[in-house]
Structure 1
């Protein structure tokens, strides 16, 4: 923003990391436990939960674009244009997340529980989470204009998500389950509610750290032109890079969230082993941190697109083999899960840098920066992927006959195993295909766009 601002460095990277730490305290919580909470604690059919998650995306189609426009039209302050929204929205998103896990309504009529589920999920995901996630994601392009710096921000963002995933995936399975009189591991509504409260408090703390530590350096002017839906749709249709990253991200989240969603059923129901579930969460974090150590230099050498394709094909191959072997030992499954997670980790580490590449590409073509609008469309796509994964998981669970009464029957738990392996494997294959044939920004094109924008900036001085 100002000429004497401190240079980009570790403080920005750590601060940006805490932002996604806060995001995923509520996002990963809902991805891993919301379906399980409503089927096992609230007694709502899995298919209804899946339909609710997909139906909420209709609301997101409006709120995501609206928030993108609000962000683009926000007048820059001394702190910047994007970071101010983190302070404004951190409280509402935390409260809305907590309300989704209202175990005190477990004995209410089914109709009321479905209403509460719809109301709180839309309040959290379509309104509050949108209000903080879109400016947070858009902020990356304002923290630095250097593609290498943005790649590092993408890396650190994924590390933040992994830390939240560690808390939720490793610690929570050990505290939110109890054994019933038959020795089955059952989710506790009260413990889940308390865990959600702790996650909400943690989210607020992380958001405030992000607000305090990050600095916007690239001045992004306030958008004043009239918004036209037709122009937005036309821009999306004619932006091949945006279409490519949207489709790719939907496929990646379908793979990632279906895998993590289903582990909350696989380990307690198929294996009867909660400790292995906790270990799988830790394994995902460890493999992400290992991949973070080499992903930035490797993507600089090979290209982000090219690296993403290789990672997706590797993940798919591991899961197809895992399904074929029908592993009976929970800890052996964790080993295969860890290798499959390499595909998720690598694409997650590069995907946020890829969206800034898309923003740059759009600026090269039309001469305008629309960080908030483009990121809002991308954010909507990620929510579609999340809903699709939960919806697919919910519908597939309904197809195999899963309910509170049948949760531990042999045919049902065998079906859980196959869903856990095959659904994310298909997502990986679709991810590789979409990157190969839809996404045009290979290493050479990204470098060319960066050179053009630097030349334009120098000419404007």
Structure 2
């Protein structure tokens, strides 16, 4: 039920900026992990890529419990004077930032191998499976409480993507310019520099979370779900929710493609092309594509054609771009950056509207079940995103091991050619699979979404 207090300010730019800062804060640690953690632990700490990838996948079993548990906690918590969701940002911004910083402690590089693995396991699980969960689930669920208007939610989705893009710009462009150094003619990652960078990003994450807390206002009162927890009913309702299963599958595949692009960038540019500046350029171009093309056009195109329809076509386009790049095998790193930019247009539209698609899924579940479960549904989706992140890192680690990558073979011609091939094949396969999943599984077409909105408006007007 929407709050009726006339003193509540209307939805506006302050909310959009605040919600943007929330994802800015999230991605200061999330993008850093997806883009540089594997590189840091293989090249600086000397851990096998297979071991790092195995950790990232194994941690998802922990997330299966922590994410859904946090979703239930959020759904069953009564609103406070600050709202139901945003108080969690203030409570947990410190722990998530500190735990992220602890991951990148290069001072332990000369410690015993077992100690380094143990340190990696503890800090990564604390960050990703515990503290990040306690802030990301409420943040993602909060969109439904900021406004009941689907168009406002689509705008929040766009501004959330802008926040992620700006974080990617800072991390993707700035980090390679500072973190790499040339040693014996090779471009290598500096451990001490990465530690400092992680500390700076953690501090900035706290600032962004607090800005989100103070700028955003929850207008829709989402009451505590006092229904007795029936685990069987919950699992059954989730298992037969085709829209949720479809968006989960698409999200996992999107992250395999997108994080595959970002993760392999740390290898294809310095190792195959020998150019850290080109890595910064690719991140800059990707951010420009999101801010100049995808963010301004996504809402308009999705309003005209539908979010599902737009995402399906754009991801298929991105897959084709990488297939062409694989066969042409450009030798100039900046030609490769051009292919990267074109493919980013493809995934960018889906990545911009996906957060609004989650609210469509929540609405669809409420239409069917008569219960609003923002936190629970978002927590399942959040788990899927983490699973996609882990599978991406695990897949990259395993594939790098298969082509013989180690710190000693990192610049061998056969290994670097394998790195290039993987940098094209991984995103092409991921984005192509997204398009097929949206077409065959995800049911929420433009027509279906409009029907659900009308049903819920009618129900709420009758209360």
| Same fold, TM-score > 0.5, yes or no | yes
CA deviations 1:138-170 (Å, max 9, x no partner) are: 000110111111000000000000000001000
* Other-structure match for 2:44: 41
Q: Distance in 2 between matches of 1:408 and 1:232?
A: 51
Which structure 2 residues correspond to residues 107-146 of structure 1 after superposition, within 5 A? 107-146=110-149
Could you tell me which residue of structure 1 aligns to residue 99 of structure 2? Answer: 96
| Alignment partner, residue 231 of structure 1 | 233
Cα distance, 1:224 vs structure 2: 1.5
SS in structure 2 of the partner of residue 76 of structure 1:
coil
Separation in 1 of the partners of 2:390 and 2:175? 22
**Alignment partners' CA distance in 2, 1:459 and 1:274:** 60
1:206 and 2:208 are equivalent in the alignment: yes
Matched with 2:171 is 168
Give the C-alpha shift of residue 228 in structure 1.
2.8
| Aligned equivalent of 2:260 | 258
What's 2:32 paired with?
Answer: 29
Partner of residue 451, structure 2:
448
Distance 2:230 2:414 in 1: 52
Counterpart selection for 2:324 from 321, 333, 343: 321
Q: Deviations 1:35-86 (Å, cap 9, x if unpaired)?
A: 0000000000001111110000000000000100111111101111000000
Q: Distance in 2 between matches of 1:258 and 1:266?
A: 11
Q: Distance in 2 between matches of 1:429 and 1:411?
A: 27
CA distance in 1, matches of 2:134, 2:409: 39
Matching residue of 1:81: 84
Q: 1: CA distance between counterparts of 2:181 and 2:64?
A: 39
Q: CA deviation at 1:368?
A: 0.7
Counterpart position of 2:346? 343
Q: Is residue 411 from structure 1 mapped to residue 411 from structure 2 by the alignment? A: no
Uncovered stretches (5+) of structure 2, i.e. residues with no partner: none
Q: Which runs of 5+ in 1 are unaligned?
A: none
Is 1:420 paired with 2:390? no
1:192 aligns with 2:197: no
Q: Secondary structure at the match of 1:178?
A: strand
Which whole-Å CA distance do the structure 2 matches of 1:110 and 1:228 have between them? 45
Cα distance in 1 between the residues matched to 2:77 and 2:223: 9
What is the aligned counterpart of 2:304 among 286, 296, 301? 301
Using the size of structure 2 for normalisation, the TM-score is: 0.98
Normalised by the size of structure 1, how large is the TM-score?
0.99
Q: CA deviation at 1:2?
A: 4.4
How big is each residue's C-alpha offset from its partner over 1:404-458, in whole Å with a ceiling of 9 and x where there is no partner? 1000000000000000000110001110111001100000000010011111111
1:246 aligned to 2:251?
Answer: no
The separation in 1 between residues aligned to 2:289 and 2:151, in whole angstroms, is 22
**1:27, 1:230 → 2: CA distance?**
32
Q: CA deviation at 1:229?
A: 2.5
* 1:179 alignment partner, SS class: strand
User: How big is the alpha-carbon RMSD for the aligned residues of Structure 1 and Structure 2?
Assistant: 0.7
User: Across the two proteins, how many residue pairs are aligned to each other?
Assistant: 459
| Corresponding position of 1:332 | 335
Report the equivalent of 2:220. 218
- Work out the CA distance in 2 between the residues paired with 1:227 and 1:338: 47
Q: Does 1:361 align with 2:369?
A: no
Give 2:278's aligned residue. 276
CA offset digits 1:184-223 (Å, max 9, x no partner): 0110000000000000000000000000000001110101
Residue 188 of structure 2 aligns to a residue whose secondary structure is strand
Task: For residue 255 of structure 1, report the CA deviation from its aligned partner.
Answer: 0.3
The secondary structure found in structure 1 opposite 2:181 is: strand
Q: Secondary structure at the match of 2:371?
A: coil
